[in-house]
Amino acid sequence: MGCCFSRCSKPAQGDQQPAAAGTAGQDAETGGEKVPKYSWDQRAKIDPKDYTFSGLKDETVGRLPGKVAGQQFVIQDCENCSIYIFDHSATITIDDCINCQIFLGPIKGSVFFRDCKDCKCIVACQQFRTRDCRKLEVFLCCATQPIIESSAGMKFGCFQYYYPELALQFKDAGLSVFNNTWSNIHDFTPVSGNNNWDLLPENAAVQDYVPLPSSDELKGVRISTDAAKSIIPITRGRREKSSDESCLAVFFAGDYTIANARKLIDEMTGKGFQLVQTKEVLMKAEDAHRVFKQCASELIPLLEKGPVVALEFNGDGAVEGCQSTVNDVFSETKVFVSESKASASQDVDNFYNFADMQMGM
């Protein structure tokens, strides 16, 4: 019969010491039960107050690049304020704000203005919506169709802005600088005989609506409102075209697709042609046959490399001007350009009808 006081042999060095009777599963130091540790317990705690501007009056406030980092943000009950969010966010709601100037960096999801009036804004987002708003003037980049509801006196222009961190913020928010439907407004509550929205003057200058920040903290952001430096290409959208002639140019995925597209924009606008609209979208083989027709077979293998970037230029001689520019500047880059003035309008319609269907518009 064994003895309850029999001595156990000393464990070899490195072996685990057996748990004392009655302490299995307990912390050796405290005697309490061990609490499992999870990765989410190691994350910094989020204080909603750090992502809220509320009840402010006659103030200039903002967040510097890196200070929001994809969190959701709330702006509410502010009056006569200048508000700048120089970072990307998840969603932003703006409620009951009066006579405010607001800049919002790239928003991965939606921005929703409710019960606001007499505000001037610069906004980049996936979805834009207003409800019960009056007299909002917005320089907008929106990947989907902007929606207004029970709102009046709304005016829209094309987003134009630059600071060094903005390009990466667009990428972090999952937004393409080429997908901007700023002028394609849908009014949920139209009023017969009235138009609840309009476009801002074509020569409207951003800094006249939302001035550069005046606070010492925010002055450190290196901002430019020069349209030529804008991270978003400035498009005419649904403004009346100056000519019956348009041209479609499509860049296929490669190492310099974005840079090449911007180069063509600079070259063509420098020659007096107008950039009407842009798109970045994935295409399949069946899409290529519909858009590129007889050229489709040679272009289909290029579609597997990634999304294409499409540009529409307008102006007398746009087709010939685009063809010559592409031949002179992009000799080693594959670019589809409308072959003739006769086919150009149909090329534009075919591509953008396809792109709008792809994006659910």
Residues annotated within a binding site for GTP = 109-110, 126-129
- How many Cβ atoms from other residues are within 10 Å of residue 25's Cβ? 7
160 with 140: CB under 8 angstroms? Answer: no
Enumerate the β-bridge partners of residue 149.
131
59 closest CA partner among 76, 78, 87: 78
Enumerate the β-bridge partners of residue 280.
309
154 with 128: CB under 8 angstroms? Answer: no
239 closest CA partner among 181, 199, 197, 279: 199
CA 328 to each of CA 131, 264, 278, 319: distance values in angstroms, whole numbers, following the listed order = 49, 11, 22, 14
C-alpha 48, offset from chain centre: 23
Q: What phi and psi, each to the nearest 5 degrees, are found at residue 82? A: -110, 120
Q: Which residues are annotated as a binding site?
A: 109-110, 126-129
Give the contacts of 69 (CB within 8 A, at least 6 positions apart).
Answer: 87, 88
Q: How far apart are CA 310 and CA 235, in angstroms?
A: 13
Longest pairwise C-alpha distance within the chain: 108
Spell out the long-range contacts of 54-58 with Cβ–Cβ below 8 A and sequence spacing 24 or more. 54/78, 56/81, 57/81
Q: How far apart are CA 27 and CA 170, in angstroms?
A: 47
Residue 338 has, within 13 A of its CA and on its CB side, a CA count of: 27
H helix runs in the chain, sequence order: 166-172, 206-209, 257-270, 285-292, 296-303, 318-329, 341-358
The conformation of residue 33, written as its DSSP 8-state character, comes to: B
